[in-house]
């Protein structure tokens, strides 16, 4: 299957999260996913959470990748790679905490997600199926 892959290098400054969201939104529109489609908002939220985790919790630069299959109903894949060897550590935030829900959100919104070693660090990925959104 043909796949379009785009990527963005993300620095360790928390302001990079906003830049990553803006960049991703423009790439979604460029790939044929309308900005007003529910799947676009889901993908932007997932990207925001994964990039935030990489920037805040690892203190390392990261690479955001988006993979768009040629088939319009296929899954869109998001990958965030960083140079930290530490595996992602999902946690359950207390009700009064303002953070700590990133991977819980990813688990609830993505159709699939996981992580794997990549180079000297790791890659956290998630996929969102477009088929359900198109029906």
Residue by residue, pLDDT tens for the chain (135 residues) are: 688 899 999 999 999 999 999 999 999 998 889 888 899 999 999 999 999 999 988 888 999 999 999 887 789 999 999 999 888 876 665 666 555 567 889 999 999 999 999 999 999 999 999 876 555
Separation of alpha carbons 39 and 108, rounded Å:
14
Q: What is the CATH number of the domain that holds 27?
A: 3.30.565.10
Looking at the structure of the chain, the number of domains it has is: 1
Q: Which domain holds residue 73?
A: 3-134
pLDDT of residue 133: 55
- 119 Ramachandran zone, left/alpha/beta (phi>0; psi -120 to 50): left
Whether the model pTM is above 0.85: yes
Separation of alpha carbons 112 and 128, rounded Å:
7
């Amino acid at each position: 299957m043909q796949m379009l892959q785009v990527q963005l290098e993300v620095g360790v400054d928390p302001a990079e999260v906003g830049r990553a969201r803006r960049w991703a939104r423009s790439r979604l529109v460029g790939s044929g996913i309308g900005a007003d489609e529910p799947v676009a908002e889901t993908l932007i939220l997932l990207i925001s959470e994964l990039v935030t985790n990489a920037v805040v919790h690892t203190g390392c630069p990261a690479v955001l990748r988006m993979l768009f299959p040629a088939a319009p109903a296929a899954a869109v894949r998001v990958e965030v790679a960083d140079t930290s060897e530490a595996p992602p550590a999902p946690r359950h935030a207390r009700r009064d905490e303002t953070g700590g829900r990133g991977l819980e959100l990813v688990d609830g919104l993505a159709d699939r997600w996981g992580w794997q070693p990549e180079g000297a660090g790791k890659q956290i990925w998630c996929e969102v199926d477009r088929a359900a959104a198109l029906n």
